[in-house]
Structure 1
Amino acid sequence: MSISKQELVERSQVILAHAWMVRTFIKHCDEVDDYPELMGITRAVFDASRALETRVDDPDSYLKMLRKKIGRLRKATDQFALDAPEASLHTNFEQAVISMKGCTQALEALLADVEE
């Protein structure tokens, strides 16, 4: 089933909303004082979200920017998966890693749908 580019944008925005909540959790957690490397994921999510939000009404431009930003988001997610357990083994951190991995994979899958 083929979906429109606008629908891909809308799905991407929902996924990024989930990533934004991980960003908010990490940005305000106490552990970030002792583990500033956790801020890498907050910056990557902020950068991608802000770059994309200005393009929601132009699907071609949005998807082009998502292609540009996805690599940095993937790299930040991979690093976050390494850094988070060092900061805390609490379930909140475990779930944040799972969530970011899921968000990144879902965005990559949407981009793959566009290219098919």
Structure 2
Amino acid sequence: MTPEHLMQTIDTQLAHVWMVRAFLKHSDEAAEDDELAEVHRELYDYMLALGGPLKEGNAAEYLRMATKKLAKLRRATESFATIQPEISQHTNFQMAVHSLQAAVAEIARLLTPA
């Protein structure tokens, strides 16, 4: 896979991350829970760091930043999975965890050298 194709493939996964982030950001629960608010801020931070290189078509910088910030993305995902049962048992929250975990796992797989 070329670096450019890899960048586009990761960005497709980030569309899923963005939807989870938007769901969390606009939930009443995020307004009431600092840990949950931190999760959606960390998700945004990861995507913000990649936005410039994506717009510039700079695959090398995009992949460098994606790799550099992957640990923070994973931590935010783990944090959400941990706190979600305390925040809400609603199916929307359960599916948001599942969606985020799947997208982040795929991003990690894509960034792992073969």
**Equivalent residue number for residue 100 of structure 2:** 100
Verify the 8 A CA contact 2:7 2:62 in the aligned structure 1: yes
Q: 16, 27, 30: which is aligned to 2:28? A: 30
Report the secondary structure of 1:89's partner residue.
coil
Q: CA deviation at 1:41?
A: 1.7
Q: Which amino acid aligns with 1:45?
A: L
**Equivalent residue number for residue 18 of structure 1:** 16
**Equivalent residue number for residue 111 of structure 1:** 111
> What is the TM-score of this pair, normalised by structure 2?
0.93
| CA deviations over 1:5-28 (Å, ceiling 9, x no partner) | 111100111111110111110111
Q: Which amino acid aligns with 2:87?
A: A
Q: Structure 2: state its 5+ residue gaps.
A: none
> What is the TM-score of this pair, normalised by structure 1?
0.92
Separation in structure 2 between the aligned mates of residue 48 and residue 108 of structure 1, nearest angstrom: 13
**Equivalent residue number for residue 71 of structure 2:** 71
Q: Structure 1: state its 5+ residue gaps.
A: none
Q: 40, 44, 47: which is aligned to 2:45? A: 47
Verify the 8 A CA contact 2:31 2:37 in the aligned structure 1: no
Verify the 8 A CA contact 2:39 2:77 in the aligned structure 1: yes
| Percent of paired sites with the same residue | 38
Report the secondary structure of 1:55's partner residue.
helix
| CA deviations over 1:73-103 (Å, ceiling 9, x no partner) | 0011001101111010000000010011111
**Equivalent residue number for residue 7 of structure 2:** 9
